[in-house]
Each structure stands twice: as C-alpha cells, then as structure tokens.
A and B are shown apart, each in its own frame.
Chain A
Amino acid sequence: DSGVTQTPKHLITATGQRVTLRCSPRSGDLSVYWYQQSLDQGLQFLIQYYNGEERAKGNILERFSAQQFPDLHSELNLSSLELGDSALYFCASSPRVGGDTQYFGPGTRLTVL
C-alpha cells in the first residue's frame, strides 16, 4: 500500500458526460501528479500540483482540468468524454518537487461507452 488513495476504482459512463476523479496524497506529501495510461499512448503525464498551485502541465486536453485543495487532496475533472478517454488514470504524490520518488495510487479505470 503506497498510502495514496484514489476514488472511485472503476467508473463507467457515456460519451459527452463529465466525471471527477479524486486523489488523496500520502500524509505529508505536498506534490500531486496525474497520469493517464492507455494501450496506445502508454503512461503519459497530465498535470502536477504543488501545495495548491499548478506547477507543470503535460499533454492534458482542454476538456480536462484539475485542482488541489487546501487539504492537499486533488481532483481531476474530465468533461465532454469521448471513447478515446477510456484509460487508467493514476494519481501520484511526492514530498516535494525536483526528483523525489513519486508513489502511485491504485488508479481509476474509466470506461466511456
């Protein structure tokens, strides 16, 4: 158990819908990262927050957004869902930034029908 929690574990929804994925980092970790794992793209970095502020952005679609709250949990919002958004979404956390080990949550498997 990495100490990072993600909910829900599975999510099945329809095209055009909006969903919210939730992540609680390890106790004491200030940095939260979101990654997407799909068969065609592999593991891709989406976005990072550090102590409530956005710090780095990857190839995150405009339909996707995220935030980190004062209690350091984070949410990833996916809207206008398409079939191609079906993937495993991971959250990771680390104490700081700059090369700290990232510990991953169990992931949320999103299926868009």
Chain B
Amino acid sequence: AQKVTQAQTEISVVEKEDVTLDCVYETRDTTYYLFWYKQPPSGELVFLIRRNSFDEQNEISGRYSWNFQKSTSSFNFTITASQVVDSAVYFCALTNRDKLVFGAGTILRVKS
C-alpha cells in the first residue's frame, strides 16, 4: 500500500525565514509520481510540482525548491525568504497510476 507522511503538523516562522516542509513516502512500485499542492485559506488546491521516480534532480522555482531523495524516500519542500502570502496548508501526494494518496498536510504560518 502507498503512504505519505508529513510529520510536521504546523510550522510558524517569521517573514524572510527559510522553512522546509518534510515529506516521507512509502510505495512498492518502481514507477511513481510525487506532488506538492498548496491549499491557501480560500480553500482551493493549487498544484506546485510533479516529480517522477526516475528523476532525482532537485528543482528550483523562484523561492521554492524541492529535494527528492529515493534513498530516504523523501521529497522535501523548501521556501526561501518566506512571505505572509505563503501561509497555507501544504500537501505532499503520491500516485503510481491514478488516485493520489495525500499526506495529512503541514500548516505553515508566516508572521510579519
């Protein structure tokens, strides 16, 4: 069975701090896909990134970066110089084909 663990329930930081959100996954499949989604207070789920199991290159997009390590089954997400607008719930998710299996989410609060 597939499982995603986001051990950090809630993180509070002050604006401009860097913050890393952890994600650990379990799967027996050799081909799988990992995702991060953001859920701001308005409630929608916003896609951030998709990674397949064969691509372990780290990715950077503006202030966001992702570190994928198959050896530790982790797909961590770092926000550099956090801003108040980053306050949201962040979900890590996993799929091998169809349904997404989500972690419980990490609430990020960025204070000014």
Most buried by B among A45, A55, A97: A45
Q: Which residue from chain A places its CB closest to the CB of B91 in the assembled complex?
A: A43
Cβ contact within 8 Å between A101 and B98: no
Cβ contact within 8 Å between B102 and A43: yes
The interface residues of chain A lying within 8 Å CB-to-CB of B102 are 42-43
Cβ contact within 8 Å between B98 and A104: no
Q: Which of B45-53, B58-66, B80-88 contacts A (4 or more CB under 8 A)?
A: B45-53
Q: Which residue from chain A places its CB closest to the CB of B43 in the assembled complex?
A: A107
B96 proximal to A (CB < 8 A) = yes
Determine the distance from Cα of A42 to Cα of B89 in the docked complex, in whole angstroms: 12
**In the complex, which of the residues A2, A35, A99, A107 contacts B52, with contact meaning CB atoms closer than 8 Å?**
A99
Cβ contact within 8 Å between B91 and A56: no
Number of B residues near A (Cβ < 8 Å) is 24
The interface residues of chain B lying within 8 Å CB-to-CB of A90 are 45
Cβ contact within 8 Å between A56 and B98: yes
Q: Which residue from chain A places its CB closest to the CB of B99 in the assembled complex?
A: A45
Cβ contact within 8 Å between A99 and B33: yes
Cβ contact within 8 Å between B52 and A88: no
Determine the distance from Cα of A64 to Cα of B98 in the docked complex, in whole angstroms: 20
The interface residues of chain B lying within 8 Å CB-to-CB of A99 are 31-33, 50, 52, 95-97
**In the complex, which of the residues B45, B46, B100 contacts A45, with contact meaning CB atoms closer than 8 Å?**
B100
Cβ contact within 8 Å between B45 and A42: no
Determine the distance from Cα of A58 to Cα of B91 in the docked complex, in whole angstroms: 19
Known A-B contacts A42-B104, A42-B105, A43-B102; the reply to A97 vs B47 at CB < 8 A is no
Known A56-B99, A104-B44, A107-B45; 4 more pairs at CB < 8 Å: A43-B105, A48-B98, A102-B100, A104-B46
6 A-B pairs closest in CB distance? A45-B99, A104-B45, A99-B33, A43-B102, A56-B98, A106-B44
